[in-house]
């Protein structure tokens, strides 16, 4: 394959990198005034990448999957679909960002640039078919994330979150690297296909260690129990738009990367990792649900909620089937809209003085203060709880369907029973907004962009979202199939 083809397949990443570099120069020379223009340019670039990836997805759906630069980088239906989700989530996060920082005069052009580089890294993570590409993508995304977490420099909590994230993220990267070196040592290659062949020939204890270390490091990135401790602190400390970003796009990327690693290089050793994933799944569901119950801070609560959701996603992975992979993507897609919507609502929640409202007490009686916001949050919370007819139910439905079809009925039964614990705090949201009396009757003023993001997320999560399921299901099935092409 020639360079032309390689460049074509990596077009989205190259385009985003070049845009990022140019915008970095622009921001260096223009200063703070142009931050908004740079954001718009970054959103435009992401839109371009989105459309380009959509075209690639269309091509891969008809069977034209391709590898770029030797075996380093693949473009198949799975990576394209994951990238589309990543770009959509990133665009949503960028739309939500400026207003928040501008109130404190902290918005700078570096923010969209960092997000762009992050998007490039995430694209590489999901497309990597070599442990080296994977690591480069992962670090590119992580480094940008550390800076973003401490973006509100004047806020000590933000700096603390950034530092915590950096130290613990560095540790996780170390664990992954250690795992990679073991895997390399026992297979003699870093290419996914090569590892699979080598492991099929001989799967030694050392290789098991390597695999477990890689999975443990990745579990940290997706904040699965028992590697979840950083999540509530970082989510709470980071500025809300950054938290929105952490909870959406990088999570999609890390989960997609984990799924690819599990099915491609380690796809022959399903029995080796299935137990780990089953444990992490159930532990995440239970810890995520129990941890959230006592929380007063809405951001912390949503952090636990994301741990809880990762648990459900891992059930799809534990099924270790094509349906499971497809279910994971479907869940991720719906999760992105649920998370973006919830955080958009949190960002709208500020009183006219600009104080952030972030505890349950602040949203008491929201239904009388701002019915539109309260009803939107009601939809999103019931969707997160997985109550039909909202789309969140469909996400859980496909996951549990995959588990039952893989004959993991006990896992499915325990998982779904534990989801009732989670329902408790989601309905607490509704209780506070609808049943309690308002202490404050002032209304909220937020830019139209926030309301637009919220409206789109609510519409997708409403029963109307079911009309999208046949269309998305076809793509997710094609994506799942592309992971099993090797086997």
Partner 1 sequence: MELPILSIMLAVPLVAAIACLFLPGSTARMVALAATLIDLALGIMLWLNFDIGGAQWQFTERAALFAGFQYALGIDGIALLLIMLSVFLMPICILASWDSITRRVGEYMAAFLLMEVLMIGVFAAQDLFLFYIFFEAGLIPMYLIIGVWGGDNRIYASYKFFLYTLLGSVLMLIAMLWMANAAGTTDIPTLMQYDFPAGAQIWLWLAFFASFAVKMPMWPVHTWLPDAHVQAPTAGSVILAGVLLKLGGYGFIRFSLPMFPDASAELAWLVFALSMIAVIYTSLVALVQADMKKLIAYSSVAHMAIVTVGLFAFNAQGLEGAMMVMLGHGLVSGALFLCVGVIYDRLHTREIARYGGLSINMPRYALLFLLFTMASIGLPGTSNFVGEFLALAGIYEVSTFVTLVCTTGIILGAAYMLFLYRRVAFGEQRNADAARMPDLNLREWAMLGPLAAAVLWMGIYPESFLAPMRGDIAMLEARLAPVAPQYDSALTAGTPREHAANYVAAEEHGPEGAH
Question: 85 in helix, strand or coil?
Answer: helix
Longest dimension (CA), the chain: 69
User: Which of the ranges 61-69, 135-143, 310-318, 380-388 carries the binding residues for partner 1, by CB under 8 A?
Assistant: 380-388
Closest to partner 1 by CB, 353 or 437: 437
Which own/partner pairs from 391-397 qualify as long-range (CB within 8 Å, at least 24 positions apart)? Answer: 391/334, 391/337, 391/460, 391/461, 391/462, 391/463, 391/465, 391/466, 392/334, 392/338, 392/461, 394/330, 394/334, 394/465, 394/466, 394/469, 395/312, 395/330, 395/331, 395/334, 395/335, 396/312, 396/331
Q: Is 319 in the site for partner 1 (CB under 8 A)?
A: no
Kindly identify the residues of this chain, within the stretch 429-448, that bind partner 1 according to CB under 8 A: 430-431, 434-435
d(CA 220, CA 376): 31
Q: Is 37 in the site for partner 1 (CB under 8 A)?
A: no
User: Which of the ranges 48-56, 204-212, 308-316, 388-396 carries the binding residues for partner 1, by CB under 8 A?
Assistant: 388-396
Return the residue of 10, 130, 173, 419 that touches partner 1, per CB under 8 A.
419
Torsion angle of C-alpha atoms 174, 179, 181, 182, degrees rounded to 10: 150
In whole angstroms, the minimum distance from the beta carbon of 104 to partner 1 comes to 36
Q: How close are the terminal C-alpha atoms of the chain, in Å? A: 23
Return the residue of 2, 105, 352, 470 that touches partner 1, per CB under 8 A.
470
Return the residue of 28, 417, 452, 487 that touches partner 1, per CB under 8 A.
417
Q: Is 393 in the site for partner 1 (CB under 8 A)?
A: yes
Q: Is 195 in the site for partner 1 (CB under 8 A)?
A: no
Burial state string for 174-209 with b = 16 or more CB within 10 A and e = fewer than 16: ebbbbbbebbbebbebbbbbbbbebbeeebeeebbe
Count CB-CB contacts under 10 A for residue 76: 25
Beta bridge partners of 316: none
Q: Is 481 in the site for partner 1 (CB under 8 A)?
A: no
User: Which of the ranges 80-88, 109-117, 350-358, 367-375 carries the binding residues for partner 1, by CB under 8 A?
Assistant: 367-375
Closest to partner 1 by CB, 182 or 412: 412
Side-chain-side CA neighbours of 247 within 13 Å: the count stands at 37
Closest to partner 1 by CB, 168 or 427: 427
Return the residue of 7, 294, 424, 439 that touches partner 1, per CB under 8 A.
424
| 432 φ, ψ (degrees, to nearest 5) | -65, -40
Binding track, positions 394-413, relative to partner 1; x by CB under 8 A: x--xx-xx--xx---x--xx
Count CB-CB contacts under 10 A for residue 55: 12
User: Which of the ranges 44-52, 135-143, 235-243, 465-473 carries the binding residues for partner 1, by CB under 8 A?
Assistant: 465-473
Closest to partner 1 by CB, 126 or 363: 363
Kind plus residue range of the DSSP H or E element containing 68: strand 66-68
User: Which of the ranges 60-68, 141-149, 309-317, 423-431 carries the binding residues for partner 1, by CB under 8 A?
Assistant: 423-431
Applying CB under 8 A, the site for partner 1 has a residue count of 35
Tokens representing 190?
Answer: 């870093």
Q: Is 22 in the site for partner 1 (CB under 8 A)?
A: no
- Could you tell me which of 246, 204, 239, 201 has the C-alpha nearest to residue 223? 246
| 122 φ, ψ (degrees, to nearest 5) | -65, -40
Q: Is 462 in the site for partner 1 (CB under 8 A)?
A: no
Q: What is the contact surface with partner 1 in residues (CB under 8 A)? A: 367-368, 375, 382, 387-389, 393-394, 397-398, 400-401, 404-405, 409, 412-413, 416-417, 419-420, 423-424, 427, 430-431, 434-435, 466-467, 469-470, 472-473
């Amino acid at each position: 394959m020639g360079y032309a083809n390689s460049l074509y397949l990596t077009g989205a990443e190259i385009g985003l990198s070049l845009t990022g570099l140019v915008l970095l120069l622009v921001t260096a020379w223009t200063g703070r005034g142009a931050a908004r223009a740079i954001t718009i340019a970054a959103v435009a670039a992401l839109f371009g990448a989105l459309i380009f990836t959509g075209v690639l997805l269309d091509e891969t759906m008809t069977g034209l999957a391709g590898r770029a630069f030797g075996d380093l980088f693949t473009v198949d239906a799975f990576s394209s679909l994951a990238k589309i989700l990543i770009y959509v989530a990133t665009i949503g996060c960028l739309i939500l960002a400026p207003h928040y920082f501008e109130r404190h005069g902290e918005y700078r052009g570096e923010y969209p640039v960092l997000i762009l580089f992050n998007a490039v890294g995430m694209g590489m993570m999901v497309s990597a078919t070599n442990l080296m590409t994977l690591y480069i993508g992962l670090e590119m995304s992580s480094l940008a994330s550390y800076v973003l977490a401490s973006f509100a420099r004047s806020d000590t909590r933000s700096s603390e979150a950034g530092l915590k994230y950096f130290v613990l993220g560095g540790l996780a990267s170390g664990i992954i690297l250690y795992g990679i070196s073991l895997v390399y040592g026992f297979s003699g290659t870093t290419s996914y296909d090569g590892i699979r062949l080598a492991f099929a020939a001989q799967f030694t204890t050392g290789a098991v260690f390597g695999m477990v270390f890689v999975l443990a490091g990745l579990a940290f990135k997706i904040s699965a129990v028992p590697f979840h401790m950083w999540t509530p602190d970082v989510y709470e400390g980071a500025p809300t738009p950054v938290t929105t970003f952490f909870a959406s796009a990088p999570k999609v990327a890390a989960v997609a990367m984990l799924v690819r690693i599990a099915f491609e290089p380690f796809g022959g050793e399903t029995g080796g990792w299935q137990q780990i994933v089953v444990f992490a799944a159930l532990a995440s569901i239970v810890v995520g649900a129990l941890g959230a119950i006592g929380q007063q801070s809405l951001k912390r609560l949503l952090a636990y909620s994301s741990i809880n959701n990762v648990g459900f996603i891992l059930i799809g992975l534990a099924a270790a089937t094509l349906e499971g992979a497809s279910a994971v993507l479907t869940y991720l897609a719906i999760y992105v809209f649920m998370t973006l919507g919830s955080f958009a609502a949190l960002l709208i929640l500020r009183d006219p003085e600009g104080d952030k409202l972030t505890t349950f007490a602040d949203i008491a009686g929201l239904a009388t203060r701002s019915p539109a916001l309260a009803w939107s949050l009601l939809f999103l919370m019931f969707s997160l709880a997985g109550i039909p007819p909202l789309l969140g139910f469909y996400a859980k439905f496909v996951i549990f369907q995959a588990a039952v079809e893989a004959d993991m009925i006990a896992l499915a039964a325990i998982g779904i029973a534990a989801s009732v614990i989670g329902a408790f705090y989601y309905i607490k949201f509704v209780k506070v907004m609808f049943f309690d009396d308002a202490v404050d009757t002032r209304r909220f003023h937020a830019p139209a962009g926030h309301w637009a993001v919220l409206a789109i997320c609510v519409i997708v999560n409403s029963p109307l979202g079911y009309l999208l399921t046949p269309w998305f299901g076809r793509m997710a099935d094609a994506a799942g199939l592309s992971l099993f092409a090797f086997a």
